[in-house]
Homo-oligomer: A and B are copies of this chain.
Amino acid sequence: MRAVTIQDGELVVEERPDPEPSRGEILVRVKAAGLNGADMLQLRGAYPAPPGSPPDIPGMELAGEVAALGPGADRFEVGDRVMAVVGGGGQAELAVVQERAAMPVPETLDWPAAGGVPEVFTTAHDALFTQADLRPGEHLLVHGAAGGVGTAGVQLGRAAGARVTATVRREELRQGVEQLGASVIEPDGFGEHGPFDVVLELVGAGNLHENLKALATGGRIAVIGIGGSGATAELNLGLVMAKRARIHGSTLRARPLEEKAIAMRRVEREVLPQFDAGLLTVPVAASFALDEVERAYERFQAGGKLGKIVLVL
């Protein structure tokens, strides 16, 4: 199979042996694979793949057709359309996926859209509902709403009956985020638009103090990304106590399979039906062929995109 590989910090498409599915795994002929911030970190050597994943083939999500079943794999049949979160190895013609980390592709999604679903919708759903317990009628603030997780978070918040406010770094992306159902505000002085019950933080620590000040009593801050404004900031624990606030952070990639599988079952139940019902969409900013992978990564890192950058095979 042909695969994107990382060699000395460079992206190289090359021939690799076809992987074989072991017990409980499925082999997927990849049709589309979304890019994520983690791929950019891995390219820089900062975020190695967890044990058990191909160490030098990037790609944390994919969609494709089941090509073969490993022993004991019985959730899908050969030919089924599936999408999955993987620890790595998604950006290749073939990928081995634990069947419990795979989900069926909703009928209405084409391949590029399906390739951009698993990582960001699972991450956003886990952060908003499993961790932050977002409830109907609550006020959600999404920082950095134009990206993959952001556009998923805005839509999931809206579809669950929350009022959604969003900050967007680039003026030209405001309208797209508004069309997803958010009131878009300026990042500067965002706190004036609170109080917020839940904050989905995709930008970084620079927002921490104002997030906390603008939080409603009992509010929750879910930190999923810190690429935009750094990792550290001063925290006032007196304010955390007075607000009865909760701050939590997470990553999806490092979790053990059983936790990923639970997150995925929740997405199957609570998210996937909403695609076919027309309540959710997957904004794909641009798609690239496997051989254009360098341009795809450049496009991702340039920012200023609404939604996902996807490799299509």
Contact = CB atoms under 8 A, between A and B. Distances in A.
Contact of A231 (B223, B236, B247, B254): B236
Interface in A87-144: 131
A247 B248 contact: yes
B232 A242 contact: no
Interface residues of A, number: 31
A129 to B, nearest CB: 15
13 contacts: A131-B246, A201-B237, A223-B237, A231-B236, A231-B237, A234-B234, A235-B247, A241-B249, A242-B254, A244-B254, A245-B248, A245-B249, A247-B248
Nearest to A236: B232
A66 B29 CA distance: 74
Contacts of A226: 237-238, 241
A235 B251 contact: no
Contacts of A244: 248-251, 254-255
A204 B240 CA distance: 12
A248 B234 CA distance: 15
B237 A241 contact: no
A162 interface: no
A40 to B, nearest CB: 15
B248 A224 contact: no
Given A208-B237, A232-B238, A241-B251, 20 more contacts: A204-B237, A205-B235, A205-B237, A223-B241, A231-B236, A231-B237, A233-B235, A234-B234, A235-B235, A235-B247, A240-B247, A240-B248, A240-B249, A241-B249, A242-B254, A243-B249, A244-B248, A244-B249, A244-B251, A246-B248
Most chain B CB within a 10 A radius of its CB, from A223, A239, A241: A241
A101 to B, nearest CB: 18
Interface string A197-217: 000010011001000000000
Contacts of A235: 205, 208, 232-235, 247
A211 to B, nearest CB: 11
Nearest to A241: B249
A223 B245 CA distance: 10
